[in-house]
């Protein structure tokens, strides 16, 4: 026999901030026979279950979470057991499922990662018991939905004893593939992003380079710059490397040269800087490791450095870069046979590393228009990757596109429209970042810091808290505009700006409605040949649905709305923009409308 797991609709009343919460019904359904070793023969998600159920209640020893479970009168194949969650702090939809059966255990971490074993190293349950568990509280595993002993499994000769007896289906992919449920704040009844006694806005940059790769300044100098500018956190993302081990560089040949080295010694005196003369008579200095820099500059509750990596991959001549945040080891580029496969394989590697370590981690796609490598058609299909850079501060990445290439915001709307309909995937969130490389001539037309950032609403300044807030959409992106609050609900999206005296603001609500034309056509060059770029889609995708002049704006959903997002533009020019003539802006994350949440 095999087992599938689903959540019975309607989902809107059961989900909050992308997590399961009290009142969620969880159904385990028996589905026929397992005929081959280690293989899921049947996998389906059922919208209905048996009604002649008696109600029981029990309390799990771990945490005391309460559950109601309705047990069918018989345990024959096809019977179902429902467990209704009464009290729980919530399980992120990104976690994986884990089952333990009479002969062993099986874990489905994502679409691509499955682990089998005759003894369960994760939850330490004895054979004969069943549990659905989630990683929580660091590296500990906590059974949180159900543990039971009462099923009488009659395996007989159907399955040999050495064959694993239970198969699990990924909760996340089941939900999004079958019911079009996007993970994130839009699935909950109301999400208000506003600072209060328990929540704070934290400003941070998620794309930063140093002399460890192709930046022109020392890591501690870069960290100090962001600290001096009032940032709360900074993610270092040097190319295909982490700041570990011993690395000496020749001062004169480094990108910062002698001038950067002298600035370093003035800023960090008293023996901090290590230098030596090489056998060739050249002055060398040792780059500080991440542990050294973070120990020197981290300020608990005030400033946080995050060890990350820019996984710099490619397909053919197309650059494909993805930032992996809060990693514990360097993730080498995985490659692939297409642009899509490169992105998916690197995403899968990060998710596997995250599950293995137990730490909060996040991956995002960098500068989609760098080399015009990334098409909406490829990125929209990647599973487990829900972030991309809608604004990158590097002047060479073509955020706005051109006459033949879609800009990043156009790509965003195309992805959202398709992910929330036929692809049935979560929303894609848009990040603003610096991608800083040049720190000695500010402002300039070089890749300077301070151009784009995220504002994350979190309970504390920690990597886990920040990533959890990002994954649940509790943030906005900015290149200069500050928001006081963002409120999303089933009714619509509301924005309140934190204004600068004298500045004027325009709030545009942009979205797509159900029934948009799904046809597209390729972009062709002057020679009539198709260009590698996002195809041309209908103007019905990414329409400006409503515009407000002022510091407050609201959009009320209509029944046909799939999503709405907001762009807030100031009349103030950006002081050091990615492209000349840019105005300061902010991007509120998409709120999913009734047309996307409604069942087919």
pLDDT digits (tens, 9 = 90+) for 17-36: 333 333 333 333 322 222 22
Residue 214 region, left (φ>0) first, then alpha (ψ -120 to 50), else beta?
alpha
Ranking 82-96, 208-222, 301-315, 486-500 by mean pLDDT, the lowest is 82-96
Instruction: Check whether 477 has a pLDDT greater than 70.
Output: yes
pLDDT confidence tier of residue 78, bands split at 50, 70 and 90: very low
Specify the pairing of strand 475-478 against strand 483-489: unpaired
Instruction: Check whether 148 has a pLDDT greater than 80.
Output: no
Domains of the chain, CATH where assigned = 3-179 (no CATH), 187-247+287-597 (3.20.20.140), 248-286 (no CATH)
Instruction: Check whether 476 has a pLDDT greater than 90.
Output: yes
Q: Which of 102, 83, 79 is nearest to 32 (CA)?
A: 79
pTM of this prediction? 0.72
Q: What is the dihedral of CA 554, 557, 563, 564, to 10 degrees?
A: -20
CA distance 122 to 356: 11
Digit-coded pLDDT (tens) for 342-371: 999 999 999 999 999 999 999 999 999 999
Q: Which of 231, 235, 232, 240 is nearest to 213 (CA)?
A: 240
Q: What percent of the chain has pLDDT over 70?
A: 68
Digit-coded pLDDT (tens) for 450-466: 999 999 999 999 999 99
Residue 270 CB partners (closer than 8 Å, separation 6+): none
Q: What is the pLDDT of residue 189?
A: 56
CA distance 149 to 419: 40
Digit-coded pLDDT (tens) for 537-555: 999 999 999 999 999 999 9
Digit-coded pLDDT (tens) for 204-227: 999 999 999 999 999 999 999 999
Dihedral sign (CA 431, 427, 510, 374): positive
Digit-coded pLDDT (tens) for 286-343: 999 999 999 999 999 999 999 999 999 999 999 999 999 999 999 999 999 999 999 9
């Amino acid at each position: 026999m095999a087992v599938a797991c689903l959540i019975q609709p309607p989902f809107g009343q059961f989900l909050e901030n992308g997590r399961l919460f009290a009142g969620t019904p969880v159904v385990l359904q028996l589905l026929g026979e397992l005929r081959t070793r280690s293989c899921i023969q049947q996998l389906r998600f059922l919208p209905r279950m048996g009604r002649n159920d008696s109600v029981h209640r029990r309390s799990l020893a771990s945490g005391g979470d309460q559950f109601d479970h309705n047990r069918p009168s018989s345990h024959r194949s096809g019977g179902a057991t429902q467990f209704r969650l009464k009290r729980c702090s919530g399980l992120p939809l990104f976690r994986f499922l884990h089952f333990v059966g009479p002969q062993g255990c099986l874990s489905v971490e994502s679409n691509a990662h499955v682990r089998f074993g005759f003894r369960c190293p994760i939850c330490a349950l004895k054979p004969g018991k069943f549990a659905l568990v989630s990683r929580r509280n660091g590296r500990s595993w906590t059974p949180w939905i159900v543990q039971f002993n009462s099923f009488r499994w009659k395996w007989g000769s159907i399955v040999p004893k050495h064959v694993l007896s239970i198969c699990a289906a990924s909760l996340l992919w089941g939900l999004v593939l079958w019911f079009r449920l996007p993970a994130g704040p839009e699935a909950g009844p109301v999400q208000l992003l506003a600072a209060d006694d328990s929540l704070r806005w934290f400003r941070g940059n998620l794309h930063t380079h140093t002399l460890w790769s192709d930046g022109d300044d020392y890591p501690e100098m870069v960290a100090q710059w962001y600290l001096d500018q009032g940032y709360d956190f900074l993610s270092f993302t040097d190319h295909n490397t982490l700041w570990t081990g011993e690395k000496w560089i020749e001062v004169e040949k480094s990108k910062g040269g002698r001038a950067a080295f002298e600035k370093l010694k003035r800023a960090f005196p008293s023996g901090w800087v290590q230098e030596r003369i090489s056998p060739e008579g050249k002055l060398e200095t040792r780059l500080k490791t991440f542990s050294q820099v973070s120990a020197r500059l981290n300020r608990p509750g005030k400033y946080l450095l995050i060890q990350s990596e820019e996984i710099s991959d490619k397909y053919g001549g197309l650059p494909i870069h993805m930032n992996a945040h809060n990693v514990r080891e360097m993730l080498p580029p995985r490659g692939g046979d297409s642009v899509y496969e490169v992105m998916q394989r690197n995403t899968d590697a990060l998710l596997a590393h995250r599950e293995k370590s137990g730490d909060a981690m996040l991956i995002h796609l960098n500068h989609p228009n760098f080399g015009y490598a990334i098409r909406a058609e490829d990125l929209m299909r990647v599973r487990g990757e829900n972030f991309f850079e809608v604004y990158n501060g590097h002047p060479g990445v073509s955020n706005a596109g051109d006459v033949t290439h879609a800009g990043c915001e156009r790509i965003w709307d195309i992805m959202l429209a398709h992910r929330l309909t036929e692809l049935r995937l979560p929303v894609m969130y848009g990040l603003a970042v610096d991608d800083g490389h040049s720190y000695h001539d500010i402002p300039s037309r070089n890749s300077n810091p301070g151009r784009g950032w995220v504002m994350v609403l979190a309970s504390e300044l920690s990597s886990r808290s920040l990533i959890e807030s990002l994954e649940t959409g509790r943030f906005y992106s900015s290149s200069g505009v500050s928001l006081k609050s963002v409120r999303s609900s089933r009714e619509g999206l509301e924005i309140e700006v934190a204004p600068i005296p004298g500045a004027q603001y325009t709030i545009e609500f942009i979205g797509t409605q159900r029934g948009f034309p799904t046809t597209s056509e390729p972009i062709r060059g002057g020679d009539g040949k198709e260009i590698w770029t996002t195809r041309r889609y209908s103007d019905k995708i990414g329409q400006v649905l409503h515009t407000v002049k002022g510091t407050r704006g609201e959009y009320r959903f209509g029944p046909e709305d799939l999503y709405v997002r907001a762009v807030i533009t100031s009349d103030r020019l950006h002081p050091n923009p990615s492209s000349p003539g840019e105005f300061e802006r902010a991007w509120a994350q998409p709120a999913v409308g009734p047309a996307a949440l409604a069942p087919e």
